[in-house]
């Protein structure tokens, strides 16, 4: 099945998805890698409010390469604002965020995680409320083409790849449902089949 979803994502929308389905997303996607995850959890522990909304959010495991729009540089600096465009925005390895994901989903209603390579030991924490969407590695230019605007950036002190970037996307994909809300894990299934095939030889 193929689905075209808009953010913020609703629980009933992501519950209808099954491992192997194709998804395209339109709306706002937030990038977040290791350091951003760590800061989110740290701020929750300290009772601090996040500068962005994770309700129904789609988090993209990505360290984008950004370029400031130079033609309006002086005006941006005068207003205390900067405008950015995306040069490349391919997915990073999601498994690096596996350990922090259960706690993240315990505190925030994130509905989709996007990245590459699958995630370990997160299926149970995704159950009934969140999906993992796999994006093919090496598609940095394709991803950038789906990003129409960069409304903002949070925590730039973490550095360009680790900051949280708000990306306004249109038909972002194709994304494959790697882990659905019923704990079906496409990556685990493929590994098990490959192992069985190997043992039969």
- What distance in Å separates the CA atoms of residue 64 and residue 147, rounded to the nearest whole number? 11
pLDDT band at 74 (very low <50, low <70, confident <90, very high): low
The pLDDT of residue 144 is 81
All structural domains of the chain: 2-200 (3.20.130.10)
- What distance in Å separates the CA atoms of residue 32 and residue 19, rounded to the nearest whole number? 23
Q: How does the average pLDDT of the chain come out, rounded?
A: 89
DSSP assignment, residue 138? T
- What distance in Å separates the CA atoms of residue 44 and residue 61, rounded to the nearest whole number? 20
| Residue 24: CA count within 13 A, CB half-sphere | 12
Tell whether the torsion through CA atoms of 38, 22, 169 and 53 is positive or negative: negative
pLDDT at 76 > cutoff 70: no
User: Over the stretch 133-158, which tens digit does the pLDDT of each residue have?
Assistant: 999 766 666 778 889 999 999 999 99
DSSP assignment, residue 90? P
User: Over the stretch 36-64, which tens digit does the pLDDT of each residue have?
Assistant: 999 999 999 999 999 999 999 999 999 99
Q: What angle do CA 139, 30, 48 make, to 5 degrees?
A: 155
Q: What pTM was estimated for this model as a whole?
A: 0.89
- What distance in Å separates the CA atoms of residue 13 and residue 113, rounded to the nearest whole number? 14
> Distances from the Cα of 37 to the Cαs of 7, 34, 105, 149, 183, in angstroms?
20, 5, 11, 23, 22
pLDDT at 184 > cutoff 70: yes
37 is catalytic: yes
Question: Which member of 4, 37, 44, 107 is catalytic?
Answer: 37
């Amino acid at each position: 099945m193929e689905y075209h979803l808009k953010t913020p994502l609703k629980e009933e929308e992501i519950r209808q998805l099954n491992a192997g389905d194709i998804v395209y997303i339109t709306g706002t996607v937030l990038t977040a890698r290791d350091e951003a995850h760590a800061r989110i959890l740290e701020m929750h522990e300290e009772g601090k409010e996040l500068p962005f909304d994770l309700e129904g959010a789609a988090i993209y495991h990505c360290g984008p390469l950004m370029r400031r729009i130079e033609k309006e540089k002086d005006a941006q600096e005068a207003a205390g604002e900067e405008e950015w465009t995306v040069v490349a925005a391919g997915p990073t390895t999601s498994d690096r965020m596996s350990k922090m994901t259960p706690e993240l989903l315990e505190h925030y209603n994130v509905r989709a995680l996007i990245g590459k390579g699958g995630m370990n030991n997160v299926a149970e924490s995704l159950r009934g409320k969140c999906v993992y969407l796999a994006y093919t590695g090496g598609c940095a230019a394709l991803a950038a083409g789906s990003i129409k605007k960069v409304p903002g950036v949070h925590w730039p002190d973490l550095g360009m790849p680790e900051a949280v970037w708000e990306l306004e996307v249109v038909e972002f994909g194709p994304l494959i449902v790697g882990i659905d809300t019923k704990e079906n894990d496409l990556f685990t299934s493929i590994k098990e089949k490959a192992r069985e095939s190997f043992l039969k030889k």
